[in-house]
Structure 1
Amino acid sequence: MTNLPAPDERFTVFTDRQKIFLTIILSLANLASPLAATSYVPLLPLLSRLFSTSLEAINLCVTVYVIFQAISTSLFAPYADVHGRRPVIFITYCLFTLASLGLALNGTKSYSGLLVLRALQSLGASTVPSLGYGIMADVAIPSERGQMLGPIGATGNLGVCIGLIVGGLIVFGSANIQWVFWALVILGGAMTLATKPSLDVMKHSQSQEVCDIEKAS
């Protein structure tokens, strides 16, 4: 009698090395949203003085970020279901990087610009975690998903912790709010460049899977 593989083992063509590589990339990509959210908090008193406005008005930027963080997945997830998660992650990371660049260049010139760019930054960064979990479900069988979920979730929590420290250290060392946004530009640019070729691994492997299914049928 032929020994058939367990049902779970039939539904993935990804090697262990590919899954480890994707876990690392998705874990690093997951840093953007919590870092952008929390590294901004130490800037609030300084922004209030630089914009010559109340602390309540500056706190509105935090509220705007959270609101767009909540709706970002609803906006991009349907598109990702139709056109794939790879292009959506790449596009949203580009949006995050460009919005961070706009914030760095805006400096203290425009309060309305600060609000708009923070909203766009949130849209770009906040879609990645949910799509990352979807990619994890695509590439790993159920019994292996915990191995990918752990590091991805851990980096998200780590970003919340170190964002406050990073923002505080940058402001303390330079007294310049723009360097916080430049740091996010560097992160966004690096991850945009890394994400595109890395997620192409999925395309090639999924194409192989389709060919195997067609041959089997």
Structure 2
Amino acid sequence: MAVQSHTPTARRSPPHILTLVALVGVSTLAMNVFLPSLPAMADWFATDYATIQLAVGGYLAMNACLQLVVGPLSDRYGRRPVILWGITLFMVATVGCLLAPDVETFLFFRLAQAAIVTAMVLSRAVVRDLYPQDKAASMLGYVTMGMSVVPMVGPAIGGALETSFGWQSNFWLLLGAGGALWALAYLDLGETAPQAGGSFRAQTRQYPELLTSPRFWGYCAAAAFASGSFFAYLGGAPFVGRQIHGLTAAELGLFFGAPALGYFAGNGISGRFSTTFGVDRMVLAGALLQASGLAALMMMLLAGAEGPWVFFGFMTFLGLGNGMVIPNATAGMLSVRPHLAGTASGLGGAMMIGGGAALSVLAGWVLEHGGGEITLVALMLTSGAASVVAIALTIRRNRTLAARGVA
């Protein structure tokens, strides 16, 4: 893409892929780096664990809500300024977390930290701005590898920092990461969005063409249900590991990363083969792999084969399926109306996180009220099967439209 201006605030040169990886990585780090410190934070603020847990649940809720706004704003005003302002607000909120005198103030600024979601949402939109659908899916596979690596190392880093320097060190790390990310985005992230023009109200009048598209909702549903299985795992796997299999915290930490290994592999497969096979077949293959792995686990549990190696071992299929479904389904939803790629990214992300958070809560509630390992797997399998149905219906509609000569 040609550079249209030499002023730093109006640069239009495309970013390096590592810049996009950094945008996703810091956004993910903000979600999970401090999780091992929650008990220490509860003691520091003299509150109960349920209250300090709002730093997780409330953050996810705010994250989902902001994604509905971030996309439309970036379609109107551009990716670059919205990302830079989002990172700036994140840094201000991080300082607020560090200086908070009580838990209420801390939680207020913790929710404000969700502004970093602009980096994650709009990194996907930038990819779609630069590449056609299948190539975009391939690039998204590489970009979202950061989302598989950070969950494996983030909590471990956070736990080590908290042990050595206190819980505040996690937020100092986030502040430093935010500053470095702002500088990187300022220097390397040129504007990639098409020039929209017109007022914000005029821009919003175009949104019904996206929201009324069955293909858009099909890709969103495929991604949301696939990721929903993973969020159900997040809500229920700690209970299964500690209460059912009797794992220590250290052992659970090792087993817990099994889906991340599969996710890393799935993203690599997407990066390598999406351009060759197309997003529809990649989403279908990923959804089928995920559902098949969960179905096999269910049969083994019903046959009496239990143990942490069985339960967590099969969760690699969960990550593998997500690594193939999410980047390709995201490329699909962003390609339905390319001029509304930011809106599509935000809305799709809100569906994935909002629906996934609900499944996470549901999984925890079911286990607390007498459900067991099989119950959790059944919930995950149901969500995974729904992803298969969603992409199958979307493929059928795509073929119908192609037969009619409709793009």
State if a TM-score over 0.5 links the two structures.
yes
Which of the numbers 186, 190, 215 marks the counterpart of 1:196? 186
The count of aligned residue pairs is: 186
Deviation at 1:85, TM superposition (A): 1.0
Deviation at 1:162, TM superposition (A): 1.7
Report the equivalent of 1:59: 53
Deviations 1:51-97 (A, max 9, x none): 11111111122111111111111122111111111110111011111
Which of the numbers 99, 108, 111 marks the counterpart of 1:119? 111
Contact 1:38–1:164, Cα closer than 8 Å, also in 2 = yes
Deviation at 1:135, TM superposition (A): 0.5
Q: What is the CA–CA distance in structure 2 between the aligned matches of 1:144 and 1:78, rounded to whole Å?
A: 24
Q: Does 1:181 align with 2:171?
A: yes
Where do 5+ consecutive residues of structure 2 fail to align?
4-12, 196-407
Q: Percent identity?
A: 25
Report the equivalent of 1:102: 96
3-state SS of paired residue (1:91) = helix
Report the equivalent of 1:157: 148
Report the equivalent of 1:148: 139
Report the equivalent of 2:199: none
After the TM superposition, which segments of 4 or more aligned residues of structure 1 sit over 3 Å from their partners?
Answer: none
Q: What is the CA–CA distance in structure 2 between the aligned matches of 1:83 and 1:201, rounded to whole Å?
A: 10
3-state SS of paired residue (2:53) = helix
Report the equivalent of 1:138: 129
Deviations 1:149-192 (A, max 9, x none): 12211102222222211110101122x11111000000000110
Deviation at 1:201, TM superposition (A): 6.4
Contact 1:97–1:188, Cα closer than 8 Å, also in 2 = yes
Contact 2:94–2:113, Cα closer than 8 Å, also in 1 = yes
CA RMSD of aligned residues (A): 2.1
Report the equivalent of 2:73: 79
The AA in structure 2 aligned to 1:69 is N
Q: Does 1:90 align with 2:114?
A: no
**TM-score of the aligned structures, taking structure 1 as reference length:** 0.78
Contact 2:36–2:159, Cα closer than 8 Å, also in 1 = yes
Report the equivalent of 2:29: 35
Contact 2:78–2:192, Cα closer than 8 Å, also in 1 = no
Contact 2:79–2:192, Cα closer than 8 Å, also in 1 = no
Give the number of the structure whose alpha-carbon radius of gyration is greater: 2
Q: Does 1:129 align with 2:123?
A: no
Report the equivalent of 2:40: 46
Q: What is the CA–CA distance in structure 2 between the aligned matches of 1:200 and 1:34, rounded to whole Å?
A: 22
Deviations 1:188-216 (A, max 9, x none): 0011011012112648xx79xxxxxxxxx
Contact 1:95–1:121, Cα closer than 8 Å, also in 2 = yes
State the structure with bigger RCO (CA 8 A, min sep 6), 1 or 2. 1
3-state SS of paired residue (2:144) = helix
3-state SS of paired residue (2:148) = helix
Q: What is the CA–CA distance in structure 2 between the aligned matches of 1:74 and 1:141, rounded to whole Å?
A: 24
Contact 1:35–1:162, Cα closer than 8 Å, also in 2 = no
Report the equivalent of 1:214: none
